[in-house]
Amino acid sequence: MTSAELERGRRPAWPEALPMGDRLRAGARDRWVRMRTELGDGEGRVGMLRRHRVVIAELFGEHSWVTVIAEDWPARDGAAGWTAVHLPEAEPWRPIESEDAGGAGVAADLFVAEVGATTLDDLLGLALDGRALFVLADPERRRLYAPYDLGADVFFVDEGERAAFRARHADWLSLRAGGL
C-alpha cells in the first residue's frame, strides 16, 4: 500500500485522528478497547506474544500481510531511527507534530509498510520492549491494533463489533477506570 492509498482509505473510517494509538483513543472512545497482555501466571514474554497473535489473527483473519503505520521520533527519543532498521521497506507517509513531556513541540514522521508474519513477530517484540510505536491495520482499515509494552489498543469501525470483542475477551481487558 502506498502512502496515498493509506491517506484515501483513512479518512472515511477514521476521520477523528491520524492512526496513532494515543490520538485515536481520544477521538474514538466508543470504538476503542484496551487489551492487556501482562500475565500473572508466569508465562512472561511468550504468553504476552501469544495474546498479541491471538487477537491479531482474530482481527485480521487469514491475510498474509498487514499494514504497519509506524511512528519514528527524533534523536532525543530512544526509538529514533528504528524504522530504517526494522522496516527498511517502509515508505514515508507524513510528518507529524506532537509535544514532549515538557510541552515543547517535537517533529516526527509516520511511515507505512506492508509486512508478513515473520516481520510482524519482530515488530511485536520491539513493542513489548518499548522500542517501537506503530499501528497495524487490516487491508480495509476497518480494524486497527496498536501494541505497546503491556498490551494493545484495539479500534473498531463499529460499536457492535467492539462490544462482541469485549465479551469474547473480558478477562484480557484493562481493569483500570476508563479502560486505560
Over residues 75-132, the pLDDT tens digits come to 555 455 788 888 888 888 888 876 655 666 677 788 899 988 778 889 999 998 888 8
Alpha helices (runs of H) in the chain, residue ranges in sequence order: 3-13, 21-27, 44-60, 82-86, 117-128, 159-168
User: Which cell is 177 given?
Assistant: 477506570
Query: Domain for residue 58, yes or no?
Result: yes
For residues 136 and 5, is the Cβ–Cβ distance under 8 A? no
Query: Domain for residue 22, yes or no?
Result: yes
- Spell out the long-range contacts of 77-83 with Cβ–Cβ below 8 A and sequence spacing 24 or more: 77/106, 78/131, 79/130, 79/131, 79/132, 79/133, 82/126, 82/131, 82/132, 83/111
179 — alpha (psi -120 to 50), left (phi > 0) or beta? Answer: left
Q: How many domains does the chain have?
A: 1
Split at pLDDT 50, 70, 90, the class of 134 is: very high
| pLDDT at 143 > cutoff 60 | yes
Query: Domain for residue 55, yes or no?
Result: yes
User: Which cell is 103 given?
Assistant: 510541552
The distance of Cα 82 from the centroid of its chain, to the nearest Å, equals 15
- What pTM was estimated for this model as a whole? 0.82
Split at pLDDT 50, 70, 90, the class of 164 is: very high
Identify the bridge partners of residue 35 per DSSP, sorted by sequence position: 152, 173
DSSP 173: B
Query: Domain for residue 52, yes or no?
Result: yes
Query: Domain for residue 45, yes or no?
Result: yes
How many other C-beta atoms are found inside a 10 Å radius of the C-beta of residue 136? 25
Range of the domain at 140: 3-175
For residues 65 and 114, is the Cβ–Cβ distance under 8 A? yes
Comparing 14 with 161, the larger pLDDT belongs to 161
Query: Domain for residue 41, yes or no?
Result: yes
Query: Domain for residue 180, yes or no?
Result: no
Query: Domain for residue 44, yes or no?
Result: yes
